[in-house]
Chains A and B, each alone.
Chain A
């Protein structure tokens, strides 16, 4: 499988490097569960910078919107975030369904503004990994199943040299949410 061409460890090392370069800190300071905001003093422009570096490195498009924003777009405004800008019970449920028990925790009533602080190297690795996993089995340009990664370059077709076509980050999240809904998952406004 194409996705196993780049291991989570390799992705982690690149994430670590992107963060260290963007924030101009040493890579040693970046731990898998460091909060970019709380522990590494990242600001919102730094997130954009880090994402851009990962996009260049892996030829991916990182999500432009937060997960809970996608939830609201699909299930309706008010389902994940209440009038006062706080997370609903439904937001917590779907968050846990997506991130599992290893992910950063949220709780009902938590301010939406606190969510960006939950971004860690580990969550970035997950997103990059999910995008890389959308690589099709064969190359759409030449039909060969010959994906390869040379050191430091994105997934490329060994047959024709084309970059692997990967789903955009926002589409990966949207697809996950649609699957969630198809599996009977629902998110509704508390009445």
Chain B
């Protein structure tokens, strides 16, 4: 029996990319899954549904719920559905992210709203809705951050939202200390997901960096899983860097040129 057996887990933004791998890992560890995605009617939805179907066929419970978590009402509706389907939540992984790639000096008010609504408000809405469903039992929350919280990356204002996220991790950890709900962050290094296609527009050649510059999605998901098990119950309010060592060196001879 896996360490998450009998637990219900929501992973935001789990139709593709890292969220998808995290959802698979939690399911393998025995959790019942709520998958979430934003865009209705497209490939993302098809992928989320296919994953839900796959998990169900393997014998666990899983549903895919469309909800744009930047919208408070949509988050409330998603949690009503979770309450109706499962009646509880034990694990919350706040993985979804969406942001303009622009220099800070070029951000319009619309861009700023997109940033805070999708990467800050969204996660607070999810937490506020999740807590009643986590009542009375130990629980685990993991925020997915990036090295952008600490380092400037080209045209990546999302980094500032990740810094806010990492500060929130501490805040929530303290607020939920007495409730046995752990709150931590995983600060991921470079990942090979769809976002890399976006990133290479602003960072030419990023896709040709040596393999060691990237961190395996499985490795990040593995740490997220660990933080969602009772073995990690004394880890509180930490942001753990999982970057395959990328941020240890100021200069990377291998990647120069």
Residues of B within 8 A of A (CB): 42-43, 101-102, 106, 108-110, 194, 197-198, 200-202
B108 touches A72 (CB 8 A): yes
* Interface of B, helix, strand, loop or mixed by DSSP: loop
B198 touches A77 (CB 8 A): no
Nearest A-chain residue to B106, judged by Cβ = A73
**CA of A72 to CA of B108, assembled, Å:** 8
Residues of A within 8 A of B (CB): 43, 45, 48-49, 51-52, 64-65, 69, 72-73, 77, 81, 85
A69 shortest CB reach to chain B, Å: 7
**CA of A45 to CA of B109, assembled, Å:** 24
**Of A43, A48, A64, the contact of B42 (CB 8 Å cutoff):** A43
A45 touches B197 (CB 8 A): yes
B197 touches A64 (CB 8 A): no
A69-B108, A72-B108 known; 13 other A-B pairs, CB under 8 Å? A43-B42, A45-B194, A45-B197, A48-B197, A51-B201, A52-B197, A52-B200, A64-B202, A65-B102, A77-B108, A77-B109, A77-B110, A85-B110
A81 touches B194 (CB 8 A): no
**CA of A154 to CA of B118, assembled, Å:** 40
A48 touches B201 (CB 8 A): yes
A49: chain B residues within 8 A (beta carbon)? 197
Across the A-B interface, the 10 shortest Cβ-Cβ residue pairs: A77-B108, A48-B197, A43-B42, A45-B194, A77-B109, A72-B108, A64-B201, A43-B43, A73-B106, A48-B198
B163 shortest CB reach to chain A, Å: 24
B16 shortest CB reach to chain A, Å: 10
**CA of A8 to CA of B43, assembled, Å:** 33
**CA of A72 to CA of B201, assembled, Å:** 22
A-B contact pairs, 26 of them (CB 8 A): A43-B42, A43-B43, A45-B194, A45-B197, A45-B198, A48-B197, A48-B198, A48-B201, A49-B197, A51-B201, A52-B197, A52-B200, A52-B201, A64-B101, A64-B201, A64-B202, A65-B102, A69-B108, A72-B108, A73-B106, A73-B108, A77-B108, A77-B109, A77-B110, A81-B110, A85-B110
B101: chain A residues within 8 A (beta carbon)? 64
**CA of A64 to CA of B201, assembled, Å:** 8
Nearest A-chain residue to B200, judged by Cβ = A52
A72 shortest CB reach to chain B, Å: 6
Nearest B-chain residue to A49, judged by Cβ = B197
